[in-house]
Amino acid sequence: MTNFFSLTTLKPSEDLNVGLTPRRMRPALICMSLTLGILGSMNFANSANAQGPVKTRPVDFIVAVVNSEPITNNEVQNLKLRLEKQSASGEPAPSASGLTQQALDQLINEKAQLQQARENGIRIDDTEIDQTELTIARQNQLSKAELYKRVALEGLSVGAFREQLRSQMMISRFREREVDNRARVSDTDVEQYIQSQQSGKTAVSTQFDLNLAMILIAVPESASDKEVAELQVKAKQVSQRAKNSESFAALALTFSQAADKGANGGEMGLRAADRYPSLFLEGTQSLSKGDISEPIRSGAGFHILKVLDKKQSEMSNAMISQTRARHILLRVTNDLSEAAASNRLQGYKQRIEGGTDFADLARQFSQDGSAPAGGDLGWASPGQFVPEFEDVMGRLRPGQISDPLVSRFGVHLIQVLERRETPISVREQREMVRSQLREKKIAEMYSAWVEELRGRAYVELRDPPQ
């Protein structure tokens, strides 16, 4: 399935009334905003209300119970079909049993997180759902009615779609509170990292970007020496199968016991090498793109790694592209609808093209803090503005004026004044290091958090999915 719907939302801690006056450097590398694959990733109990993609199905039955809530065979099969369509093109199809197990594990993990979110008082009201739907529609250049038509084509009723949105947003907000907001990187952490880089104390060079895929053969803490040896043999067998050109993605779906259960073929994503555990860097230091590692032992078990990509880091150039822009912001209120604000800004654009000064109109009409400066936002680095604003700004040529743009703050008219390439300041470099270290810490905490929630839940497996 092509995931044509995606959404980026603010964290609860972000103030919706600050306008777009430039904020402190927030590098895109660590922008922890929520991205939802609206039709590919949300699969909860409410999907049973959808007219799922399965043409013919057996009588439904319960395959698992998480605490007191059931997971049905139809839910597993619907998610399995979506996972099949999301498999990387060109790769051999994963085994049916591997996909079924991945779908079941994903549903169990999501159910456990959603239950904990409810118990901790996380709520998403209908107004937030309405706003989220509008954001999805805008980002995909659709009206709300057209969005609903697309949803229906994917076999979801509007009610089921909204409930899936609510569930995914609840989980994300709970995760932000329990994981993201607890990840702290001190000035000492930043300084120690910088000093280790400058003094060459790191055992492996990290001045490159790396994309790894992983299969984890887990070793229980209580495992005996014999059990550890047997699991090591199994890991070596899986590693050899990958080296013999079997699909790594299919092997990951079948064998991996990582938190994501081998989703996306075990791929962990392209990132600066220093954001991977040093154990992984040492284990892949001599490998080239496409190579498979021998099993690497950690406290969690045996890791089998594939180098998907390895290239010189662009950050080593220490240069950044900055944009100087100005805008006029009209906020949507009960007295000014979104459509009316867009029409008004379209009129301002025509006046500017006819010779009226942009700055004069901004000072007179803009409802942002930048209005006294003629809407001038100053020099801004990537990641400094919300994505919907920055995406449009990035496509404009110097001197060009956008059409009215809707963001979470209101409706904007943007003009790019100029661009420049500039060295990254010491402060910005330190903030980028801080962001990278924090993202690495969040990833480690998130994996442990998911496993902890799964461990606390009472999971009863009943009839196997079929």
Residue 37 pLDDT greater than 70, yes or no:
no
Distance CA 76, CA 78 (A): 6
Query: In which band, very low, low, confident or very high, does the pLDDT at 25 lie, cut at 50, 70 and 90?
Result: very low
Query: What percent of the chain has pLDDT above 70?
Result: 80
Question: Which pLDDT score is estimated for 261?
Answer: 64
Nearest to 216 by CA among 246, 254, 168, 181: 254
CB within 8 Å of 361: residues ≥ 6 apart: 328, 348, 351, 352
CB 358 within 8 A of CB 326: yes
Q: How many CA atoms lie within 13 A of 226 on its CB side?
A: 0
* Assigned CATH for 187-316+427-456: 3.10.50.40
Residue 129 pLDDT greater than 80, yes or no:
yes
* Assigned CATH for 319-423: 3.10.50.40
Query: In which band, very low, low, confident or very high, does the pLDDT at 192 lie, cut at 50, 70 and 90?
Result: confident
Distance CA 383, CA 89 (A): 31
Question: Which pLDDT score is estimated for 9?
Answer: 31
Query: In which band, very low, low, confident or very high, does the pLDDT at 465 lie, cut at 50, 70 and 90?
Result: confident
Going by their DSSP bridges, the two strands 459-461 and 6-9 should be labelled as: unpaired
* pTM of structure: 0.50
Model confidence pLDDT, tens digit, residues 264-284: 788 888 887 777 888 888 888
Question: Which pLDDT score is estimated for 97?
Answer: 80
Rounded to the nearest 5°, which phi and psi values hold at 50?
Answer: -75, 165
Query: In which band, very low, low, confident or very high, does the pLDDT at 263 lie, cut at 50, 70 and 90?
Result: low
Count CB neighbours of 60 within 10 A: 12
Residue 143 pLDDT greater than 60, yes or no:
yes
Distance CA 346, CA 340 (A): 10
Residue 462 pLDDT greater than 70, yes or no:
yes
Please give the structure tokens belonging to residue 417.
């004044």
Question: Residues 31, 35, 41, 43: is their CA dihedral positive or negative?
Answer: positive
Please give the structure tokens belonging to residue 136.
């999805």
Question: Which pLDDT score is estimated for 200?
Answer: 54
Residue 23 pLDDT greater than 70, yes or no:
no
CATH topology identical between 187-316+427-456 and 319-423 = yes
Q: Which fold has domain 6-182?
A: Triger factor/SurA peptide-binding fold (1.10.4030)
For the chain, which residues make up each domain, given as ranges?
Answer: 6-182, 187-316+427-456, 319-423
Residue 186 pLDDT greater than 60, yes or no:
yes
Q: What is the mean pLDDT of residues 303-313?
A: 85
Bigger pLDDT: 426 vs 250: 250
Bigger pLDDT: 95 vs 224: 224
Question: Which pLDDT score is estimated for 370?
Answer: 93
Residue 20 pLDDT greater than 50, yes or no:
no
3 state SS of 299: coil
Residue 374 pLDDT greater than 90, yes or no:
yes
The H-or-E segment that residue 323 falls in is strand 319-330
The residue type found at 243 is K
Distance CA 310, CA 290 (A): 9
Count CB neighbours of 426 within 10 A: 9
Residue 38 vs residues 2, 41, 162, 167, 327: alpha-carbon distances, Å? 10, 6, 10, 11, 31
| Helices 187-199, 426-456: crossing angle, 10 deg rounding | 110
Nearest to 416 by CA among 391, 397, 403: 397
Q: What is the mean pLDDT of residues 394-416?
A: 91
Query: In which band, very low, low, confident or very high, does the pLDDT at 54 lie, cut at 50, 70 and 90?
Result: very low
Query: In which band, very low, low, confident or very high, does the pLDDT at 87 lie, cut at 50, 70 and 90?
Result: low
Distance CA 85, CA 100 (A): 14
Q: What is the mean pLDDT of residues 240-257?
A: 90
Residue 4 pLDDT greater than 50, yes or no:
no
Question: Which pLDDT score is estimated for 241?
Answer: 93
Model confidence pLDDT, tens digit, residues 316-341: 456 778 999 999 999 988 888 888 99
**Strand ranges, E, within 232-318:** 271-272, 296-297, 301-312
Q: In the predicted model, what is the mean pLDDT of the chain?
A: 79
Residue 431 pLDDT greater than 70, yes or no:
yes
Bigger pLDDT: 1 vs 195: 195
Query: What percent of the chain has pLDDT above 90?
Result: 29
Query: In which band, very low, low, confident or very high, does the pLDDT at 291 lie, cut at 50, 70 and 90?
Result: very high
Q: What is the mean pLDDT of residues 410-426?
A: 88
Question: Which pLDDT score is estimated for 295?
Answer: 94
